[in-house]
Amino acid sequence: MAIERTLVLVKPNGVERGLVGEVTARFERRGFVLKGLKLLRAAPELAEEHYEEHREKAFFGELVAFLTSGPIVAMVVEGVSAVQVARSMMGATDPVSAAPGTIRGDYALEIGENVVHGSDSVASAEREIALYFSASELLP
């Protein structure tokens, strides 16, 4: 029963499509507590650092261009096994394989525009939260 924090992003197409409330509500209803929340436009440097593990991939340029293409919402959610549970609520990376009932399974079809991001480990979550939030922007 480890209490964890994870970073959730609503990607530009999610914000554009008016899905911020929908995504946020799912995490709140599941029982997670919001510890940080902001609307921002990611600079290329931020997007590149966020996705540094994918720097050598063919889709890296596209990935950074997409994440910086419009406003995003960043939130820190806290609760039991937040990293794993948030990822399971989002569904498979490729929405074609994402189960109905998951965020991607309900709102996406294209892998490059899969509406949400969730950290993939506690270490990634700590690193990513620090990229998007200063300590004073997070509740204790």
Return residues touching ligand IDP (CB under 6 A): 54, 59, 63, 93, 111-112, 114, 117, 120
Pairing relationship of beta strands 33-40 and 3-10 according to DSSP bridges: unpaired
Q: How far is the CB of 135 from ligand IDP (least distance, A)?
A: 25
69 residue type, one letter: S
Residue 78 interacts with, from Mg ion, ligand IDP, none (CB under 5-8 Å by kind): none
Task: Indicate the residue among 22 and 120 with the shorter CB distance to Mg ion.
Answer: 120
Q: Which residues, 106 to 135, sit near Mg ion by CB under 5 A?
A: 120
Q: How far is the CB of 65 from Mg ion (least distance, A)?
A: 17
Q: Which residues, 43 to 62, sit near Mg ion by CB under 5 A?
A: none
- Give the strand order in the sheet containing 33-40: 33-40, 72-80, 3-10, 116-118
Residue 6 interacts with, from ligand IDP, Mg ion, none (CB under 5-8 Å by kind): none
Q: How far is the CB of 46 from Mg ion (least distance, A)?
A: 15
Cα separation of 16 and 19, whole Å? 8
Q: Indicate which residue of 12, 117, 125, 129 is catalytic.
A: 117
- Annotated catalytic, 117? yes
Instruction: Mention every residue, 6+ apart, whose C-beta is less than 8 A from residue 115.
Output: 10, 11, 13, 14, 19, 23, 95, 103, 104, 107, 108
H/E element, 16: helix 12-16
Q: Which residues does the annotation mark as catalytic?
A: 117
